[in-house]
Structure 1
Amino acid sequence: MSPAARLAPAAGPRRPVSNKPWVWRVQGLLSTYLPVLLMVFLAAGTSWLVKNSPQPDDGGTEAPLRHEPDYQMQGFGLQRFDPTGGLRVEVEGREMRHYPDTDTVEVDGVRLRSIGQDGSLVIATAQRAVGNGDGSEMQLMGDVLVQRYPTDGRGGAQPRVGLEIRGEFLHAFLHTEQLRSHLPVRVSYGHTELQMQGFEFDNLKGRLLFKGRSTARFESSAARRSKPSSSAP
């Protein structure tokens, strides 16, 4: 299979299908993951941070902008609630800085948490996050870990991770709904694991471009049944 694959748009209600091409499965994973990850950080509002943080009093004079933070926050936490009072998005960080010359927000030791309307949960952590002041782009860098816990059908999240993404870099674009990484990324979903040396995913066009050597591993149901069962810790 060539590194670039044109993927079909998402289908309607899921039906049992056997021997489905693995690129379709990957497209399904990313289509589920991308909008949620964008909402986790961007819905928390880098633009909200910029607009609502105190601005320094310049005394009416305009000084040349330098790449120095005009404000910082340490040990901060932000929460967003829906109209009914339910927690939807939570962002925590060791330190946040805003740079007026580039209108960007940087967060060290970031932890992102998003609760979907169906009760599903997404948690993302990274050593550093960088977002535009208008909330159009986000980058996660260093020990990036994204975990999605599907809904249990009762308004909460299941205790087991449904989707996990690990890597050193992810770059998300809100307006064009694109996700990129020039560094290796591992995607795990149930008994499926995908290793990519780099990729570009366009959610609007339904197109996934692999970079370098990419591999996928699928564990058969027979192999799973042959494994000895183990109790939870």
Structure 2
Amino acid sequence: MATTLAPLKPPAQRRLPQTWLWRLQSLLSAYLPLLLMAFLAAGTWWLVKNTPLLDGPTEPVPPRHVPDYRMQGFELQRFDKAGTLRFRIEGSEMRHYPDTDTVEIDQVRLRAFGNDGSLTLATAKRALGNGDGSELQLLGEVTVQRFETGKDGQLAEAPRLQVQGEFLHAFLNRELLRSHLPVRLLYAGGDINARGFEYDHPSGKLSFSGRSTARIEPRAPRP
């Protein structure tokens, strides 16, 4: 009787142990595309967020206190509605500051005319004023001379008021002179040293502040 032999089983293959380096390579090969996509997405988001828009809104930049223009050897004139010259300002250099709309003038010379035709002359080492020059603060070696007009409309030969000091605030449209620092005034034959003063030409009022001293020369008797 013949016997049938069972087929021989192939020998079992031994599984080689997987090293940690091989496992790392497998993980990288499986997740590398996903990591690259995530990195590219993050980079695109950062570029979009930090790229300025051409026509988009921008944050306002605070103005700096620097001059936007300079003028040397200049002359500034101001006329009223009737075309009458009210004041003229000259200087060696003028600087305009746009953040405050003010001007700074070196070696300033002022010539101002009152409504009644009176004349005010002033000089100083420096001046600070508003944009149109109608208000000036004179600084350093300030001298002011005020000439009145007579009944015939002519200017007097000698000034009625003279001011000397280191500071003077002139309001040209209001014809007002003021100082909170010591000044010397020559007025109506008197020599006055005051801690401060104010002269309002339309009303003719001259007032002093602080301790003041005055020396009045007696008038010569009429013959």
Q: Shorter-chain TM-score category?
A: 0.5 to 0.7
Match of 1:199 among 176, 196, 199: 196
Map 1:61-100; keep pairs closer than 5 Å. 63-82=61-80, 85-100=83-98
Q: Which residue of 2 aligns with 1:8?
A: none
CA contact 2:90–2:109 (8 Å) conserved in 1: yes
Q: Tell whether the 8 Å contact from 2:144 to 2:163 is kept in structure 1 after alignment.
A: yes
CA RMSD, aligned part only? 3.5
Would the aligned equivalents of 1:181 and 1:200 in 2 still touch at CA under 8 Å? yes
Separation (CA, whole Å) in 2 of partners of 1:153 and 1:225: 24
Matches within 5 A, 1:1-233: 63-82=61-80, 85-133=83-131, 137-172=135-170, 180-196=178-194, 198-199=195-196, 201=198, 208=207, 210-211=209-210, 213-221=211-219, 224=220
Work out whether residues 112 and 172 of structure 2, in 8 Å CA contact, stay in contact via their aligned partners in 1: no
CA-to-aligned-CA distance 1:174-221 (integer Å, 9 cap, x gap)? 89998653432011113112101x2264969x895523x420111112
Cross-structure match for 1:42: none
Once residues 186 and 92 of structure 1 are traced to their aligned partners in structure 2, the CA distance between those partners, rounded to angstroms, is 24
Letter in 2 for 1:189: Y
**Equivalent pair of 2:179/2:198 in contact (CA under 8 Å):** no
CA distance in 1, matches of 2:114, 2:157: 15
Q: Name the TM-score, length of structure 1 as normaliser.
A: 0.57
How many angstroms apart in 2 are the aligned matches of 1:218 and 1:159?
21
Q: Unpaired runs of 5+ in structure 2?
A: 1-56
Mapped contact 1:94–1:109 kept (Cα < 8 A): yes
Alpha-carbon deviations, 1:38-58, whole Å to 9, x = none? xxxxxxxxxxxxxxxxxxxxx
Aligned-partner SS, 2:158: coil
* Cα offset, 1:156, TM superposition: 2.6
Q: Is the 8 A contact 1:178 1:201 kept in 2?
A: yes
Q: Number of aligned pairs? A: 162
Q: Select the structure with the greater relative contact order (CA < 8 A; seq sep ≥ 6).
A: 1
Q: TM-score scaled by structure 2?
A: 0.59
Q: 1:186 to 1:113 in 2, by over 3 A?
A: same
